[in-house]
Amino acid sequence: MLSLPAIDFSTPPDEASLRPPARERFAPRLVRAISGELVSIQDGRKLHLRSIAPNDIESLQRCFLRLSPEDVRRRFLHAMSELPTPMAQRLCQIDSTIETALVLVDETVVPGEIRGVGRIYVDQAADSAEFSVLVEKNWTRLGLGALLMQRLVDDCRHRGLAEIWGYVLLENRPMLDLCKTLGFVRRRMDNEPGVAQITLRLV
């Protein structure tokens, strides 16, 4: 069993906070398996971290149905009442040359349920990748969002990309705070008043 060396938070913790930061509360432990890794959360729950698979379509749609309208808007930047099957198929059928999609799967239930998703989409011409991330409400504040983001950053570095970036609603404090701890900076978007582009230079 390995502790996670990949998470390197350079920002010091908030000294005024009495609550240990997620990176300490979570301190995920990972076991490498043939088809992914086992993530052990400090509260005893376990998730399987692996690449998304073509047969995750229904699981992804069930995950979507458990999201609040606010979470949907924050993830997709607009309201959606369902994840249509063609879109779910597209999200599960990735082209690994330009995409990575990781899922955190709860296998203590049958069928297994997706509790978190992180993905990047590479723009080869721009030498960068756009990210998105999502963690189901009952599983937030455990360090899983940070884990997914760190894995995506590592993946972009491994691909030799110059930058990873994403759009985040300005009212999405959790995501802005999370990205700040990972070293992302905010760019102004004059044409999209309620949205920030947040970016991490990798070179």
- Total interface residues for ligand COA by CB under 6 A: 25
Interaction between residue 52 and ligand COA (CB under 6 A): no
Q: What is the footprint of ligand COA within residues 106-125 (CB under 6 A)? A: none
CB 181 within 8 A of CB 153: no
Interaction between residue 198 and ligand COA (CB under 6 A): no
The binding track of 61-80 with respect to ligand COA, each residue x by CB under 6 A or -, is: ----------x--xx-----
Binder to ligand COA among 132, 151, 155, 200 (CB under 6 A)?
Answer: 132
Give the type of residue at 140. Answer: T
- Rounded CA-CA distance 167/189 in Å is 10
In the bound complex, what is the minimum distance in angstroms from residue 166's beta carbon to ligand COA?
5
Interaction between residue 177 and ligand COA (CB under 6 A): yes
- Rounded CA-CA distance 27/20 in Å is 11
Beta strands in the chain (DSSP E): 2-3, 29-33, 36-40, 46-51, 99-106, 113-123, 128-135, 163-169, 185-187, 195-201
Query: Considering only 58-66, 122-130, 139-147, 190-198, which stretch makes contact with ligand COA by CB under 6 A?
Result: 139-147
Q: For residue 145, give both structure tokens.
A: 């969002």
Interaction between residue 178 and ligand COA (CB under 6 A): yes
Assess whether the previous peptide bond of 12 is cis (omega < 30° from 0): no
Q: Which is nearer to ligand COA, 110 or 165 (CB)?
A: 165
Nearest of 140, 138, 132, 136 to residue 179 by alpha carbon: 132
CB atoms within 10 A of CB 8: 11
Give strand pairing partners of 135: 116
Q: Which is nearer to ligand COA, 21 or 183 (CB)?
A: 21
Q: Which is nearer to ligand COA, 11 or 124 (CB)?
A: 11
Interaction between residue 134 and ligand COA (CB under 6 A): yes
**Contact set with ligand COA (CB under 6 A):** 21-22, 71, 74-75, 132-135, 140-146, 166, 168, 172-175, 177-178, 181
